[in-house]
Amino acid sequence: MTAASPVISCKNVWKLFGANPEQYLKSLTGNPGFDEIRQAGYIAAVRDVSLDIAQGEMLVIMGLSGSGKSTFVRCLSRLIDITGGEVQVEGRNIGEMSEKELIDLRRNKMGMVFQSFGLLPHRTVLDNVAFPLEMRGQDRHARRARALEVIELVGLSGREDYFPRELSGGQQQRVGIARSLAIEPDIWFLDEPFSALDPLIRREMQDEFLRLQEMLGKTIVFITHDFDEALRLADRIAIMKDGVVEQCDTPDQIVLNPATEYVAKFTEEIEKSRVVHAGVLARDVNGHSLTGAPVGEKQTILELARLLVNDSRDFLPVANNAGSLIGAMNRQEALDVLLGEAS
Amino acid sequence: MTDQAIILTGKPQTWTRARTGWALFALACVLAAGNYVLPAGLVRPPEWLILPFADWINAIFVFLRDDLGLLYLTRAFADGVEWLLDVTANLLYGKNRWPRVGPIPWTVIASIGFVIGYALQGWRLSLLTGGTFVWIAVMGQWKWAMETLSVIVVAAPFSILFGLVMGILAWRSKTFERILNPVLNVAQSLPHFAYMIPVVVFIGVGPKAGAIVTIIFSVPPMIRMSLLGLRKVPHEVIESGHMCGSTRWQLLRYVRIPTARTEILVGVNQVIMQCLAMVVLASFIGMPGLGQKLLQLLQALKIGRSVEIGITIVLLAVMLDRCTKAWATKQPEHFEKGTSFAVRHKFLLLGIGLSLACLVLAQFFPLMDQVGRRDAFTISKPIDAVADWFIVLIDPVTQWLRWFLITWVLIPIRDAFLWMPYAAVLALLAAVGWAIGGLRSALVCLAFFGLIAISGWWDRAMITVYTVVVAVCIAAAMGFPLGIWGSFNEKRASVALLICDTLQTFPSFIYLIPVVMLFGVNDVAVVGAVVLFAAVPLVRYTIEGLRQVPETLIEAADMSGATRMQTLWKVRLPMALPTIMVGVNQSVMFSLFMVIIAAFIGTQDLGQEMQRALSSTDVGKGLVLGLAVAFMGLMVDHLVTTWARSKKEALGLE
């Protein structure tokens, strides 16, 4: 497997619920709509989704409730068997795996965090976190050592002997996160991990999550119905509606160039300047004479607002982290993002 | 079941359904009115219609027993059980069998009781558990109580294991569940005696038969609760188990069963309570212990002594119930880091320490080892004196009541039931069924009672029906006002519920003591016992139903200017009715059980015949009679649940 090939690759994935979905799917021609399928007595949870997730990427799947995002992520780990199409994980079709291979895959490669935590109520924090290791058959001592390590990682040291019901929601989700990390998975699924938490705690957990991701660099599929959360965390966002991925792109592109009306509606209320980075607006230099200090490609337009307003240059040079020039940003275009198009 | 009809018909849902119901009712009236001109075949089921079910069942049993050799299997199983019973018997009351170390001094068992109670819930439970054992020892009932307990100690684990396995199988396989469900329905409405007869055929009489009938009788609730618990495990917990890479077995062992812990332990509680109820009754098939003593004393009308035994049984029941409930609701607590071994295991150490101390002391003080008959206390004399005084005091009332009830209520109603042509009864039931649930319910009613008619036990069945009808009506007349009164304030309601719950843990046998004391051995005593037993669920569900009425509705009624009575009649009762009907349903079930048990104080109904079948070990007859009783219960259950479901839908409660 080369570095370029995707970790997870979905090709035309379908998931229908109903009496005899396989047969119905075969009889389908063209691309029927959600309502059409419902009239036939089936619920289309996932419709013809194809996407690739690269090594170390954080893909956020965004959609309102009932859009099929939770079902889709369960298709990726085969918690749900798909009706049609193919899901490949590291080049292997998981639909064709035997039960044993699937269990091996989950024991060594995958971790998952659930919205309502999914903790075992009769086990202590330590035993909950060590649970996947126990399933693998690791010995007691190794289990304990590793579990304590991840418990410290999520900041729950000293609470090892508590039972889930003795912890707050945020703490319980930390246990869920620790458990999913115990086996050092390469792929990390998070199904609305922070939705059940208070707004303040949610913010704190998001920061914590970003810290962990920076440290661990895993391939992540993150589900949320909160667009702000998606923008905050994502490398790429896939927006789902009625089982279809409406657009899958970087946050900047989604905000700047919404593919469909539905996506446009979502982005309407968003402060674009907080999302769009200088790097995205950088164009080929094309002979413009660039003067002065460059702006960093990772800086958002909002962060550059004062500069953009005060500066008199038409084009600003944009540099990457290493300091080398990657292009020029049209100041007017950037101001349009900041202030909205001049009408 | 005529007054069931009056209660149940209520408001018909559609005009056509009601019209069919009324038409059938009219048919029933015509049939009843024409009693004297009807052909004999419509008054009583004719000879040719009666099918020899009993012979068929007997043939099947003979085939199972002799040709299939099931007898050897059951005897082998029974021998295994007997070996275990001998071990516990030796430990608990010193029966001369392996391991020949017993009996354990009573102080040791009592101190373990104290510690278990304390560990489970604290001082109050500790006093109850320990105190129960002290009472038993001091009253000189140790041997009998231990005979009873030794059977429970063996039977309950078998039932629990068996029930859990069956529950898991039913949860795994939809087909198995579909087969199991009706079997459980019938099993749970079969009277106790119906279980005993086959056991006597296959195993004989005595403690091991008692243990095995107890095992069989107590399994159904465990199956139900395990299934329920496994179903209720949250979806995400199971998914998280999958994602942790559990195999199927690991998922069951480490995820599903531990998460279903509470429901499974509630099942354990029910198993133990059923065990106690059955062990007491198993005295009818030669099971020694408290039940046998109570039976003998009651038959000899020794009130004081039977009250003593009754108290012991009640204490045991309440103790076992509270302990297992405390266990079910107990949540694990963690210890701070660095807690020493002694503190972590303080209850274990305390238990061992106290037991050893008592063991040593028992060597020096024989009274701490065993309390002999001579040293035991008894309160039977004062109880007898009080009872005698009380009976003499209210004798005019009871005499009058007995006379009035027998001549003006019981006998006329019984005669009326017996006078009704069976065709009229069937038409009437069809009318009720139709009014409640349409054709399906009408057919269900006809099928259940039709089978009773062609079983050849119509007259006996009618006497059972009459006793239950009278008893449930009296119970309702007492229970509903009591329930309404109990529901008016929160504190009163919780006290009343606690009393009802405690009364429901008593084995049914206990209810016979006071009525025999008051009325002697006759029809009135039977009805009295049934009324007592049947009133408890009525009160309980009336209170519960009335309390569950949403607060906003009552506030809305108050703001509309309703008086208390108006609120009760127009808002609270209609809303509570579906729940109250659950109580009626349970009350009918309980009455059926009680009527059958009360047979030994003299009735002429199915129960009496069942006792005869038991003494002549006639399996076929016993099962036919048992099924007749079960069918009555199942029919009422069907009608009430159908009615309650449609009512709840209409009220938007579900």
**pLDDT, position B6:** 43
Pairwise CA distance, residues B506 & B314, whole Å: 6
Q: Which of A103, A123, A158 sits opposite B247 (nearest CB)?
A: A103
pLDDT on residue B243: 93
Q: What does the pLDDT look like over A36-94, one tens digit per residue?
A: 888 888 988 999 999 999 998 999 999 988 899 999 999 999 999 999 999 999 999 99
CA distance A30 to A50: 16
B334 interface with A at CB cutoff 8 Å:
yes
- Alpha-carbon gap, residue B601 to B529, rounded angstroms: 11
Q: What is the pLDDT of residues B45-72, one digit of tens each?
A: 888 888 888 889 888 888 888 888 888 8
Question: pLDDT band at residue B5, thresholds of 50, 70 and 90?
Answer: very low
Q: Do A79 and B261 touch (CB under 8 A)?
A: no
* Contact assessment for residue B30 and residue B167, using Cβ atoms and an 8 Å cutoff: no
Lowest mean pLDDT segment, chosen from B33-37, B231-235, B270-274, B574-578: B33-37
Of A117, A123, A165, nearest to B331 by CB-CB distance is A165
Tell me which amino acid residue A302 is.
L
> Contact at 8 Å (CB) between B31 and B423?
yes
CB contact under 8 A, B244 and A131: yes
Contacts of A103 in chain B (CB under 8 A): 245-247
Per the CB < 8 A criterion, the answer to whether B41 and B445 are in contact is: no
- B47–A contact, CB cutoff 8 A: no
Sequence-separated (6 or more) residues with CB below 8 Å from residue B314? B506, B510
pLDDT at B29: 87
Question: Residue A72 and residue A81: Cα distance in Å, rounded?
Answer: 10
Mutation choice for B interface testing from A80, A128, A161, A175 by most B CBs within 10 A: A161
Following DSSP, what letter does each residue of B339-397 receive, concatenated? --HHHHTHHHHHHHHHHHHHHHHHHH-HHHH---TTT----HHHHHHHHHHHHHHHHHH
Cβ-defined contact of B236 to A106 (cutoff 8 Å): no
Identity of the residue in B236, B255, B261 whose CB atom sits nearest the CB atom of A114: B236
**CA nearest to B261 within chain A:** A122
Write the residue in B242, B255, B331 that is nearest to A120 by C-beta. Answer: B255
Cross-chain residue pair B243–A180, CB shorter than 8 Å? yes
What is the value of ipTM here, to two decimals? 0.88
Residues in chain A: 343
Sheet holding A92-93, edge to edge: A43-53, A8-17, A84-89, A92-93
- The nearest CA of chain B is from the CA of A147 a distance in Å of 14
User: What pLDDT, on the 0 to 100 scale, is given for residue B3?
Assistant: 43
Confidence band, pLDDT 50/70/90 cuts, at residue B518: confident
The verdict on B542 touching A (C-beta cutoff 8 Å) is no
pLDDT at B13 over 60: no
Task: With beta carbons less than 8 A apart as the criterion, state whether A150 and A182 touch.
Answer: yes
Residue B630 has pLDDT above 50, yes or no: yes
Contacts of B234 in chain A (CB under 8 A): 116, 118
Distance (Å, whole) CA B547 – CA A144? 49
B339 contacts chain A (CB < 8 A): no
- The per-residue pLDDT for B14 is 52
Q: How far apart are CA B119 and CA B116, in angstroms?
A: 5
pTM: 0.87
What is the side-by-side order of every strand in the sheet holding A325-330?
A: A282-283, A325-330, A315-319, A295-296
pLDDT band at B8 (very low <50, low <70, confident <90, very high): very low
Residue B234 C-alpha, separation from nearest chain A C-alpha, in angstroms: 8
What are the chain A neighbours of B328 within 8 Å (beta carbons)? none
Give the Cα separation of A128 and A156 in Å (integer): 13
Q: Which residues of B touch A189 (CB under 8 A)?
A: 243
Looking only at the bridges linking them, the beta strands covering A325-330 and A282-283 are antiparallel
Q: Does B244 touch chain A if contact means CB atoms closer than 8 Å?
A: yes
B175 part of contact set with chain A, CB < 8 Å: no
Query: Smallest Cβ distance to A79: which of B242, B245, B259?
Result: B242
pLDDT tens digit string along B581-629?
989 999 999 999 888 888 877 777 888 888 888 888 888 888 999 999 9
Q: Does B37 touch chain A (CB under 8 A)?
A: no
Give the per-residue pLDDT at B129.
Answer: 95
Q: Do A118 and B239 touch (CB under 8 A)?
A: yes
From the CA of A110, how many Å to the nearest CA of chain B? 7
Residue of B250, B258, B335 with shortest CB distance to A135: B250
For residue A77, give the chain B residue with the closest CA: B243
Which pLDDT value is given to residue B1?
40
Q: Note whether B244 contacts A117, CB cutoff 8 Å.
A: no
Query: What 3-state DSSP class applies to A113?
Result: strand
Q: Give yes or no for B249 touching A (CB within 8 A).
A: no
Q: Is the peptide bond before B103 cis (omega within 30 degrees of 0)?
A: yes
Closest Cβ–Cβ partner in B244, B331, B333 for A135? B244
Lowest mean pLDDT among A114-123, B292-301, B519-528: B519-528
* Closest CA of chain A from B649, distance in Å: 25
Cα nearest neighbour of A191 on chain B: B236
Best mutation target among B233, B238, B244, B330 (most A Cβ atoms within 10 Å) is B244
- For A135-149, what is each residue's pLDDT tens digit? 999 999 999 999 999
Question: For residue A1, what pLDDT is reported?
Answer: 41
Alpha carbon of B240: minimum distance to chain A alpha carbons (Å) = 6
**Which regions of chain A are under pLDDT 70?**
1-4, 342-343
Q: Which residues on A lie below 8 Å from B261 (Cβ)?
A: 122
Q: A236-241 and A244-249 as β-strands: parallel, antiparallel, unpaired?
A: antiparallel
Q: In B366-522, where does DSSP find H-type helix? A: 366-369, 380-404, 411-419, 422-454, 458-486, 490-505, 512-519
Q: What is the mean pLDDT of residues B457-462?
A: 91
The pLDDT assigned to B161 comes to 96
Contact A132 B258 (CB under 8 A): no
Residue B126's pLDDT is 95
Q: Say yes or no: B243 contacts chain A, CB-CB below 8 A.
A: yes
Residue B15 has a pLDDT of 57
Q: What residues does A43 pair with on adjacent strands? A: A17
Mutant choice from A75, A79, A100, A136 vs B, greatest count of B C-beta within 10 A: A79
CB contact under 8 A, B244 and A106: yes
Query: CB under 8 Å to A139, separation ≥6 — which residues?
Result: none
Characterise A36 by phi-psi region: left (phi > 0), alpha (psi -120 to 50), beta (else): alpha
The mean pLDDT of chain B is: 88
Chain B: closest CA distance from residue A335 (Å): 47
Inter-chain touch B239–A74, beta carbons under 8 Å: yes
Q: What's the pLDDT band for B4 if we cut at 50, 70, 90? A: very low
Which token pair is B497? 């519920």
Write out pLDDT tens, residues B135-192.
999 998 999 999 999 999 999 999 999 999 999 999 999 999 999 999 999 998 888 8
Q: What is the pLDDT of residues B352-369, one digit of tens each?
A: 999 999 989 888 888 888
- Interface of A to B at Cβ within 8 Å reads 74, 77, 79, 99, 103-104, 106-108, 110-112, 114-124, 131-132, 134-136, 158, 160-163, 165-166, 176, 179-180, 183, 189
Nearest to B261 among A122, A166, A180 (CB): A122
> In angstroms, what separates the C-alpha of A151 from chain B's closest C-alpha?
15
Which residue in the set A106, A165, A176 is minimally distant from B242, CB to CB? A106
DSSP-derived 3-state class of residue B498:
helix
Q: In this predicted structure, which of A2-11, B261-270, B420-429 has the lowest mean pLDDT?
A: A2-11
Kindly list the residues from chain A whose CB atom is less than 8 angstroms away from the CB atom of residue B338: none
Residue B408 has pLDDT above 70, yes or no: yes
> Given this model, what pLDDT does residue B586 score?
92
**Could you tell me which of A106, A144, A121, A124 has the C-alpha nearest to residue B255?**
A121
Within 8 A of A77 by CB-CB distance, chain B residues are 243
